[in-house]
Each structure stands twice: as structure tokens, then as C-alpha cells.
Amino acid sequence: MKIQISSQILTQTIDDELVVLNIETGRYFGLQASGSRVWRLLEELGDTEAVIDGLLKTYEVDEVTLRRDVDELLTNLIEAQLVTAVPEAHD
């Protein structure tokens, strides 16, 4: 799934937390270390499969658990209007 980060987003690292703020809605989200890594990979890659591949290379975790955790985080980020899921184009 392709993910697009809202153009109205500001991020700031405070201590060990990445704070993600939607300046249009005022909604924000605090991400700890692994969540911050997911966010940075989303910024860089914009694709959940690529993010999962990158995380599997970084963390010792089984793929099923990782997919569940990434899906849960993405659901929360979508609900907070910080990112949107981009429909896949079908040829």
C-alpha cells in the first residue's frame, strides 16, 4: 500500500520521541523509537511493503508481528489525518 504524508505535517524530535503535528487540524501523534523509524521510512519510501522490508533488516522480529504492528500504527496515523492511503493504480 502506498502512503502519502500530508503536506500540512511538521515533525520535531523531543527527547526520545518524534512528535508529528498536522498544522491544519492541530492533531498530533508521539512516536517512540520504532514508530519513529516507521515514520522516517514512510517519508523516504512511501510504501508499506518497502517499510516492512527495511524494518525486517533492522529489527529481530517475525514478519507476522511486524506487519500487525505496522498496520496498527498506519491505521492510527490515518485516523489522525497525518497520512493517507493512496489507492493502487490497476492497469
Domain boundaries, position 23: 2-81
Distance CA 24, CA 28 (A): 11
Give pLDDT tens digits for 14-38: 988 999 999 999 998 999 988 999 9
- Side by side, the strands of the sheet bearing 9-14 are 9-14, 17-22, 28-31
Total Cβ atoms within 10 A of residue 25:
12
- Domain presence at residue 53: yes
Residue 44 has pLDDT above 80, yes or no: yes
- Domain presence at residue 90: no
> What global pTM score does this model have?
0.88
Report yes or no: 5 and 83 within 8 Å, Cβ to Cβ: yes
- Domain presence at residue 87: no
- Domain presence at residue 86: no
Q: How many domains does the chain have?
A: 1
User: What is the distance in angstroms between the CA of the first residue and the CA of the last residue of the chain?
Assistant: 16
